[in-house]
Amino acid sequence: MFGLAVGDALGAHVEFRPHSYLVANPVKDLIGGGTWGLQEGQFTDDTSMALCLAISLIACQDFVPYDQLVRYKWWYRYGYMSSTGHCFDIGAATRDSIQEFEKRQRKFAEDHSIPFDQIDFLSNRDLLQAFDVKCSQEGVAGNGALMRLVPVPIFFFRCPTVALEYSGISGTITHGDKKVYDACCYYGALIVAALRGATKEKLLSKTFYQDHFEWFGDRKLHPEVMTIARGSYQKLGGYADGIRGKGYIINALEAALWAFWSDEDSFEKGVLNAVNLGDDTDTTAAIYGQLAGAYYGYKKLPTKWIDPRASSFDPHEMKCEKSWLISMQGVKLLLYWIRQTGHPYFIRQSVQRAKYAQLEILQMIRPIMETIRNILRNQILYNSGFAHEWIELHPKPIQRPSAICYSCQRPIQQYRNFWIVSDSLHEFRDQCERCSCDPKQHVQVDYQLGFDMINRENHQSDELAT
């Protein structure tokens, strides 16, 4: 994942620049500005979509294409998992697929009497299977399917056949061509093999596909993918010999493997070579970074491009994340028990669906709130123009019975360069004394978040409104 993000960030500022420009102005280091005017280290759609996919796998503890599409939609509509707080650099095929997904959601909600505001949290297994998640069509074969792939082989690497099948499906929900499925399967197989300790010689072997034929379910690859599997990328001349960092998935796969083959066991050399091919620079480098990151490992990534804070966690944060994961596993077990016993929910089908939706809603943070959290976190991590200021969060115990209402709008205020979403507390005994919303929309809280603005230059702390 870090290899993908580094490649994406390195190539972002020269995206769409031709090879001739990069021959004259080669990328040598991680900088900001350029095509998207990003800050140093900020990433584009490649990493955003990979994060959406990774979070879906963790939250669902399973491969659920519907949930993946929901999170891609959140990114498209709300900037969920974006480094800037909004969606940008989205490919045409991805955008078309997400819009098609939204149309299908509306129709599916109408056909099955599901409230539209709950359709994103669909969890009934029968309904999930009934929903057609392949929102693209034959002939759509862009590199957007490959750029986000790596969470799948990471999550399922202990079972290669499953990892490859899901790798292929993960691409075809937005890019429907058969060669997309096979390209994702093949690259997923290489990542799985790297994670399982394969040598570079074996990864780059012209017989890798034959040597791992059973991983592919004994099925043949598309001829264009098979040509790459037989070593078409092993060209000393690189660009001069036809290697191209284009948006077509076959070009992208070949270019990424060429960069890995020719990197002389150096992630830095390989990722810069991928960027300097030109054209779709960030995606070529992101695809390279997935395999190279899996093979070389986090510790061999260039330290000058990795903020040590990115891989360190506060003990309290780790405890919270562990608690969240356990709670998600508990919900999965509860859902499984409900599906097995089922009889308390046989009142009528619409009620049964609503109960599934409620269980999901109670365990998920709304995308807009996650987006705001990410914006605040970015301001802390990135070296921006006001990097001498940052925000510290700290809880304050509450002495009286209080709750937060999810239905009521929470106040948003601007404080210098930051936007703050304040906790709006409702006093709640038998019923809420502040609003008339459904009691089920209220969650009892024992503390309220406080915000401190810290000034690095004079070490002053300005307490914000809580």
Exposure string for 123-150, b = 16+ CB within 10 A, e = fewer: bbeebeeebebebbeeebbbbbbbbbbb
pLDDT at residue 438, as a whole number: 75
Please give the average per-residue pLDDT across 161-170, as a whole number. 97
Q: Is the distance from CB of 451 to CB of 466 less than 8 angstroms?
A: yes
Question: Does residue 459 carry a pLDDT above 50?
Answer: no
pLDDT at residue 121, as a whole number: 87
Nearest to 67 by CA among 135, 165, 133, 136: 133
The percent of residues above 90 in pLDDT, for the chain, comes to 60
Which amino acid does the sequence have at 406? Y
List, as one string, the DSSP characters of 404-428: EESSSPPPEEEETTEEEE---EEEB
Per-residue pLDDT tens digits for 73-105? 999 999 999 999 899 999 999 999 999 999 999
User: In whole numbers, what is the pLDDT of the chain averaged over residues?
Assistant: 82
Per-residue pLDDT tens digits for 6-31? 999 999 999 999 999 999 999 999 99
How buried is residue 449: exposed, middle or buried, by Cβ count under 10 Å (0-12/13-18/19+)? Answer: middle
Residues 252, 149: Cα–Cα separation, whole Å: 13
Question: Does residue 457 carry a pLDDT above 70?
Answer: no
Residues 402, 256: Cα–Cα separation, whole Å: 54
Question: Does residue 364 carry a pLDDT above 60?
Answer: no
Which ranges constitute the DSSP H helices of 173-246?
Answer: 178-195, 200-203, 208-211, 223-229
Integer angstrom CA distances of residue 378 from 48, 144, 305, 382, 441 = 13, 24, 16, 6, 30
Residues 134, 190: Cα–Cα separation, whole Å: 25
Per-residue pLDDT tens digits for 278-334? 999 999 999 999 999 999 999 999 999 987 665 555 565 555 555 545 444 554 555
Residues 292, 311: Cα–Cα separation, whole Å: 18
Strand partners, 88: none
Identify the sign of the CA torsion 294, 297, 302, 307: positive
pLDDT at residue 10, as a whole number: 96
So what's the architecture of 2-310 in CATH? Orthogonal Bundle (1.10)
List, as one string, the DSSP characters of 91-122: -HHHHHHHHHHHHHHHHHHHHTT--GGGGGG-
Could you state, in order of their start, the residue ranges of all structural domains in the chain? 2-310, 385-466
- 429 or 425: whose pLDDT is higher? 425
- 308 or 370: whose pLDDT is higher? 308
Collect all residues with Cβ–Cβ distance below 8 Å to 430 and sequence separation of at least 6. Answer: none
Please give the average per-residue pLDDT across 138-144, as a whole number. 94
pLDDT at residue 460, as a whole number: 44
Report the side by side order of strands in the sheet with 442-455. 425-427, 389-405, 442-455, 460-463
3-state helix, strand and coil shares in percent for the chain, rounded to the nearest 5: 55, 10, 35
pLDDT at residue 328, as a whole number: 47
Residues 27, 444: Cα–Cα separation, whole Å: 52
Residues 156, 31: Cα–Cα separation, whole Å: 34
Q: Which of 106-110, 114-118, 312-316 has the highest mean pLDDT?
A: 106-110
Q: Which of 111-120, 313-322, 454-463 has the highest mean pLDDT?
A: 111-120
Question: Does residue 405 carry a pLDDT above 80?
Answer: no
Q: Is the distance from CB of 171 to CB of 147 less than 8 angstroms?
A: no
The 8-class DSSP code of residue 307 comes to -
Nearest to 256 by CA among 288, 282, 296: 288
Does the pTM exceed 0.75? Answer: no
466 pLDDT band (50/70/90 cuts)?
Answer: very low
Longest dimension (CA), the chain: 75
